[in-house]
Amino acid sequence: MKLLFIVLDGLGDRPIDELGGKTPLEYANTPNMDKLASLGMNGLLHVIGPGITPGSDTAHLALFGVDPFEYYTGRGPFEAAGIGLEVKEGDVAFRTNFATINNNGIITDRRAGRIREGTEELVALFNGMEIDGIKILLKAGTEHRAALVLRGEGLSDKVSENDPHVEGKEPLEFKTLDNSYEAKKTAEVLTKFVLKAKSILSETDFNKKRKEDGLLQANYFLIRGAGQVPKLPNFEKEYCLETACIAGGGLYKGVGRMLGMHIIEDSRLTGGTNTDLKVKFDITYKALQDYDFVFTHIKGTDNFSHDGKPVEKAKFIEMVDKEMKRFLPDNIERDLVIMVTGDHSSPCSFKDHSADPVPIIVYSKDCRKDDVEKFGETYAARGNLGHLMGKDIMGIALNEMRLVHKFGS
Amino acid sequence: MKLLFIVLDGLGDRPIDELGGKTPLEYANTPNMDKLASLGMNGLLHVIGPGITPGSDTAHLALFGVDPFEYYTGRGPFEAAGIGLEVKEGDVAFRTNFATINNNGIITDRRAGRIREGTEELVALFNGMEIDGIKILLKAGTEHRAALVLRGEGLSDKVSENDPHVEGKEPLEFKTLDNSYEAKKTAEVLTKFVLKAKSILSETDFNKKRKEDGLLQANYFLIRGAGQVPKLPNFEKEYCLETACIAGGGLYKGVGRMLGMHIIEDSRLTGGTNTDLKVKFDITYKALQDYDFVFTHIKGTDNFSHDGKPVEKAKFIEMVDKEMKRFLPDNIERDLVIMVTGDHSSPCSFKDHSADPVPIIVYSKDCRKDDVEKFGETYAARGNLGHLMGKDIMGIALNEMRLVHKFGS
């Protein structure tokens, strides 16, 4: 028996007047999700815990049974792993942007004009550099983004960022967040690196050319999201499942990679609102032949929430629903366990994450189905699963797969 | 957005034949609470945990998100803080009664005839006294009650009480509850203090006068409820909410004060069954202009439970309901988040606290309302909130207030 786990990012929402007091999920016409809900078990999922608003990183750790309170150190490691920078336990990883700084030391653009091309060439100037015995690893991500890793002895993630988060200001100083020697050293290395990088970047032909072309120079690094790379449980070993991770966003791939999942790389897998959902689910369908467990992440729902667009969110959910038809028990020969949920709620009225629980369906052919007939926040509250914690759902899925790990004898 | 948190002490109850098999809350005519229930989310609250019967002190810690298993050491510190005795971390605080002891060393009245007047004068005799380098702080409470604090190095709360809890017996010896040097020292200081106090109290003109007037002398201290003052989280700093505590009972004010809340002192705020509820809610209404979070505690419900009077409990609930009308969304301009619950159940049939969960309403204008239409134990069990733990509700309230503290990014 195989497991398909579909996560719609930021799925959960709140009643919205514009939708007649329904949530986008309740408002959407979702015959296939409704079919699954009616054949399966429904509940409300507190991804980290009741009243706790999850970040995207902590949420996914929790969904995979990894306690974020124990393992989460910061977003850097997952972003770095997501773009394929191989991180090692003890490394301190950061998210970084190419930015534009002017001669007066003012950040004039936090994203260097959303530069798209040429950042691989720029990071190559620094990759492998050593500062005070600490090795610098740098890898370009999408657009202006890159991941920075410091590798060596005596580092710490207890350092603040240099990103002022607004333009027209100087970059911030790196500050230590505790009194440790390690934090002090890390802040010093970062300070030296940023200074050195500024002078190197400004001298590149690449940036001179951008200047001539009237483009913003990529001449500064804004660095944030420090996290010391934790030793995470290996997902495949822990659960004995060959696992595929199908996602667009780097963060989700990073979490998967750090948990030992196989990342399916395909340039058509993007994490936006206009992602090709047919392709994503074609790849998912195929992965179910090769893997025991397929995790498919869909980002668009959350994007519409952040933009405060409930009707568009509902329409997007309908597009996802359409692609899910092929996995319904009548349409697939294989015995599948299917879980559908969100990583957190993102009410369109908040335009941000919230602590509201997300609805979840857990389906298997002989599960204890309840009388919920539609997939939605209100309906799920009456389902057989009741209120669940994120950390519990892998165990529940494994039980449906009959992969029993008895505790005791 | 502001938060109004109304706690009816000992609200939860059990079906009672006399009330046609309803609980006092279900039996009571409560149109306003029912309106809130129908507009809001309902659930059952296990204040400390399922099957755990809360005390009043531990219950309120849990309701404010402070784990009593980690922070609770005894009732003394909260009682002391409640009557305005400023306690410091490390102090050991006790509840004490003025009692009457006869010449044979027998306690003849545990409350010195429920003495009402003159105890300030008596405590002044001891306040600041030193015994074995330990400072004695004493402050009179209502009637025969006072708070005792020991301040100094090497103290412990691992000491038993000297209150025999019945009259006609000698006071008990203070015993150590562990083998520590600190417990031994504390028991010795208490023993010396009680002996010295007995001789000083007996010699006062005050007591000589009481004797002449045929009144019971206040010539002995019965001491109980030892607790070393813990370092509690500061509520206002933790949640960034300016908070008002509106309560009659010293304990509730003590918990509030120790958590850094602003205590609204008003002599009309009493914690009994005949408390002026209109005044209490007038003060609450006004406090909502000045504070982000107003906690209003109502004690009468619990008193009727302890006396085993379900009809009177229901009538009292109706009186509270009437005063709540002004906070309903149609009657107040401000956007309010409202939580209504109890600190524990006190079934009239138990005449004491029980581990039964208490019903809770959480209302905000765009919350995920459920189809519960009345406030009550049985109805709440079908609400969207499911079963909650006390420690979670502050997070849930903050979420409704859109005061998002994202964990992760």
Query: Looking at the predicted structure, is the pLDDT value of residue B54 above 80?
Result: yes
Pick from B367, B394, B402: which is nearest to A51 by CB? Answer: B394
Alpha-carbon distance of A358 to A50, in angstroms, equals 11
Q: What is the pLDDT of residue A239?
A: 84
Place of tokens 């007939």: A373
Judge whether residue B404 has pLDDT over 80. Answer: no
What pLDDT does B271 receive? 85
Q: How many CB atoms lie within 10 A of CB A28?
A: 24
> B310-347: per-residue pLDDT in tens?
999 999 999 999 999 999 999 998 899 999 999 999 99
Question: Which residues of B are less than 8 Å from A23 in CB distance?
Answer: 368
Helix (H) or strand (E) segment spanning residue B395: helix B393-400
d(CA B41, CA A14): 12
Residue B202 pLDDT > 80, yes or no?
A: yes
* Backbone dihedral region for residue A367 (phi beyond 0: left; psi -120 to 50: alpha; all else: beta): beta
Tokens representing B84?
Answer: 């305005």
Q: Positive or negative CA dihedral for B280, B258, B233, B303?
A: negative
DSSP single-letter state for residue B129:
-
Could you give the domains of chain B?
A: 2-72+232-400 (3.40.720.10), 79-228 (no CATH)
Separation CA B377–CA B45 (nearest Å): 10
Contact B141, B79 (CB under 8 A): yes
Rounded-to-integer distance, Cα B226 and Cα B190, Å: 11
Structure-block tokens of residue B72: 């609770």
Complex ipTM:
0.90
Supply the mean pLDDT for chain B. 96
pLDDT for residue A217? 96
A43 contact B CB<8A: no
CB contact under 8 A, B409 and A56: yes
Query: How confident is the model at residue A237, as a pLDDT?
Result: 86
Under a CB-based contact definition with an 8 Å cutoff, are residues A30 and A340 in contact? Answer: no
What confidence tier does A238 reach under pLDDT thresholds 50, 70, 90? confident
Structure-derived torsion over alpha carbons of residues A143, A149, A150, A154, reported in degrees to the nearest 10: 140
Tell me the pLDDT band of A52, cut-offs 50, 70 and 90: very high
pTM of the model: 0.92
Helices (H), A64-166: 68-71, 76-82, 119-123
Mean pLDDT of B338-363: 98
User: CA dist A331 to A4, A289, A324, A336, A364, Å?
Assistant: 15, 15, 10, 11, 14
CB A259 within 8 A of CB A234: yes
- Packing angle, helices B56-63 and B250-258, rounded to 10: 40
- Per the CB < 8 A criterion, the answer to whether B163 and B110 are in contact is yes
**Both structure tokens of A132:** 């005070």
Query: Does any CB of chain A come closer than 8 Å to the CB of residue B393?
Result: yes
Taking only the tens place, the pLDDT of each residue in A281-337 is 999 999 999 999 999 999 999 999 999 999 999 999 999 999 999 999 999 988 999
* A230 pLDDT more than 90: yes
CB atoms within 10 A of CB A332: 15
Q: Is the Cβ–Cβ distance between B184 and B200 less than 8 Å?
A: no
- Nearest-CA distance A351 → chain B (Å): 11
Question: Could you tell me which residues are beta bridge partners of residue A92?
Answer: A150, A228
**Cα A219 to Cα A52: distance, rounded to the nearest angstrom:** 39
* B366, B370, B399: residue with CB nearest A53: B399
Residues of chain B with C-beta less than 8 angstroms from the C-beta of A51: 392-399
Our CA angle for A214, A219, A223, nearest 5°, is 135
Q: How far is B64 from chain A (nearest CA, A)?
A: 13
Phi, psi of B215 (to 5 degrees): -100, 160
